[in-house]
Amino acid sequence: MDCLLGIDIGSTSMKALVYDLEGNVLSHASRPQVSIANDTAHPNWQVYLPENIWDGIAAAIREAVSQLGPNKRILAAAVTGLGADAVPLDENGDPLYPFINWLCTRTVPQFEWWLENVGLEKTFQISGWQPFVWNTALRFMWLKENEPEIAQRIRKWLIVEDFVNYQLTGKYSTDFTDASATLLLDQRSLTWSDELLSMTGLDKELLPRPQASGSFIGEVTADASEKTGLPVGTPIFQGGHDYLIGALAAGAIQPGSILDVTGTWELVLTPTFTPRWTGEIRNLGLTVEAHAVPGTYCIWGGGTAANMLEWYKDEYGFLARQAAGVGQGNVWSNLMQEAQSSAAGANGVFFLPHFNGSTCPNLDSRSLGAFLGLNDTTTRSDMLRSIIEGLDYSFLGMLKAVELGSGQKAEKITAIGGAVRNDFWMQNKADVSNCVIDVPELEEATALGAAMLAGTGVGVYQNLEEAAKRVYRPGKQFEPNTKLVALYTELYEIYRGIYPALSGINTRIYNRFRAG
């Protein structure tokens, strides 16, 4: 049986999945992703160690391969992942410094320099992006300014997915979607921008030449074969940034489709053949960048999401953890039962989900999270439900921005990501947005999208459209509850006022406690 391998490098785990040509999982293995603080004086400075990433994903690949029977043959593989986080390599291809984690705050000074010297308008007009503290260019600048001896020895910078591809093939490469998140790709020519590179003092020779997702990179080397169990010569094709690769499996390939991707981050996106980089779109906090589908672009707005529920689980979910420990359900189902014991509207408690700043529709890296409306009747259930409702109000803000930027009105939204396993969250999303939420029956959509690219590259699918039709499986649909739509429409208007009301005080708090 012919098979395809999809590799997914996430912020919490690293996965290897083997699929048949119809998108069914044949084997699956994962390893945890570990973020560490590499400077005790700066606890917010977080990194991933390159050796942990390669050792972890190699072990996951080896385990997934070992689960296959003797008559199953992996035709090709592709890698997707979290993007943006990059590693500098020396002349021998060895890492010089860890991957700076996307949640790390060390690049705030470089972010401020970028805003002042490059500016939002020029950045958007060339790169299609709104600048974020975690964009790759800012990591380049930080290392150059703070570790000049290391910077002088750099011969190549690789995004995390490209680092894994290099370990597999010995070839330097990147794709348009990962290159976009650096802030340095010219979206019109899909080449590195000489203007942005010159403004930041970065050498183009340190960056691999961008190419389309699905392009051939190279073959698995003998060393990589020994470590992963993949046969020598297995072809590796270009994957890309996880949310755009997951969009392939969900069928978000043609204009008119709207996709919600909810994991650690949440993004609302729609493909387009006619990208526009106007001030109106920029002011909505939207990004317009190359899609993983050749000749297609994507409009999206995003922000952090599930990490806030992880925070609540770790800090306040002790009863749910305790119950799960004695066999009473699992932690997440217990938490959702707790949230549902609070009525819609969370007893007047509102949550601003800005633990890592605000992006769309308000770009503000200094915005902070907040609970509002607390009183002496507030329960843990109210606070937990308010987190879910706050995330869904944030989702609605992103959706409205994407609708304005693309000129299309959403009636149905396809949803993928870890959050789709949570029926209560999906139903609340439908109630808040007054849209049908369609959850396809896909196993690990991002890894499946990578496998689709590998299959297209090796010729088992004629194109991505054919691949999407073969692997797509309809699943659950969540219809808006008409009794709750009116309530949430009213409460969303209250929510919209929270960010501007807190903006000034949040900036003062951020400057005092979190800057740098």
d(CA 239, CA 212): 9
Give me the half-sphere count of Cα atoms (radius 13 Å) on the Cβ side of residue 287: 28
Residue recorded with tokens 């008559």: 71
**Is residue 238 domain-shared with residue 176, that is, in the same domain?**
yes
d(CA 218, CA 227): 17
d(CA 55, CA 236): 18
Helix (H) or strand (E) holding 459: none
Helix, strand or coil for residue 26? strand
For residue 306, the model assigns a pLDDT of 83
**Is residue 190 domain-shared with residue 233, that is, in the same domain?**
yes
pLDDT at 324 over 90: no
Domains identified in the chain, total number: 2
For residue 359, the model assigns a pLDDT of 87
**Is residue 198 domain-shared with residue 231, that is, in the same domain?**
yes
Report strand pairing: 46-48 vs 36-37: antiparallel
For residue 412, the model assigns a pLDDT of 87
328 pLDDT band, cuts 50/70/90, is low
- Identify the CATH number of the domain in which residue 32 sits: 3.30.420.40
388 pLDDT band, cuts 50/70/90, is very high
**Is residue 419 domain-shared with residue 274, that is, in the same domain?**
yes
310 lies in which domain range? 259-439+481-513
**Is residue 410 domain-shared with residue 293, that is, in the same domain?**
yes
Phi, psi (rounded to 5 degrees) for 16 = -130, 120
d(CA 342, CA 345): 8
Model confidence pLDDT, tens digit, residues 223-250: 999 999 999 999 999 999 999 999 999 9
Mean pLDDT of the 353-380 span: 94
Structure tokens at 439: 């959850």
For residue 321, the model assigns a pLDDT of 74
pLDDT at 502 over 90: yes
pLDDT at 516 over 70: no
* Residue 102 counted as domain residue: yes
For residue 372, the model assigns a pLDDT of 98
**Is residue 264 domain-shared with residue 230, that is, in the same domain?**
no
Q: Percentage of residues in the chain with pLDDT exceeding 70?
A: 99
pLDDT at 327 over 70: no
* Residue 96 counted as domain residue: yes
For residue 12, the model assigns a pLDDT of 86
For residue 389, the model assigns a pLDDT of 98
Mean pLDDT of the 35-55 span: 91
**Is residue 33 domain-shared with residue 137, that is, in the same domain?**
yes
Q: Are 107 and 138 in contact, with CB atoms under 8 Å apart?
A: yes
* Residue 196 counted as domain residue: yes
For residue 374, the model assigns a pLDDT of 98
For residue 152, the model assigns a pLDDT of 96
* Residue 417 counted as domain residue: yes
pLDDT at 329 over 70: no
**Is residue 280 domain-shared with residue 398, that is, in the same domain?**
yes
* Residue 361 counted as domain residue: yes
Model confidence pLDDT, tens digit, residues 76-130: 999 999 999 999 999 999 999 999 998 888 998 999 999 999 999 999 999 999 9
* Residue 335 counted as domain residue: yes
* Residue 476 counted as domain residue: no
For residue 116, the model assigns a pLDDT of 95
**Is residue 34 domain-shared with residue 177, that is, in the same domain?**
yes
**Is residue 151 domain-shared with residue 283, that is, in the same domain?**
no
Q: Are 1 and 70 in contact, with CB atoms under 8 Å apart?
A: no
pLDDT at 144 over 80: yes
Mean pLDDT of the 346-374 span: 94
Average pLDDT, the chain: 94
pLDDT at 487 over 60: yes
**Is residue 94 domain-shared with residue 118, that is, in the same domain?**
yes
For residue 105, the model assigns a pLDDT of 86
pLDDT at 289 over 90: yes
* Residue 314 counted as domain residue: yes
Mean pLDDT of the 10-20 span: 95
Length of the chain: 516
Model confidence pLDDT, tens digit, residues 183-239: 999 999 999 999 999 998 899 999 999 999 999 999 999 999 999 999 999 999 999
**Is residue 290 domain-shared with residue 306, that is, in the same domain?**
yes
Radius of gyration for the alpha carbons in the chain, expressed in angstroms and rounded:
22
For residue 69, the model assigns a pLDDT of 86
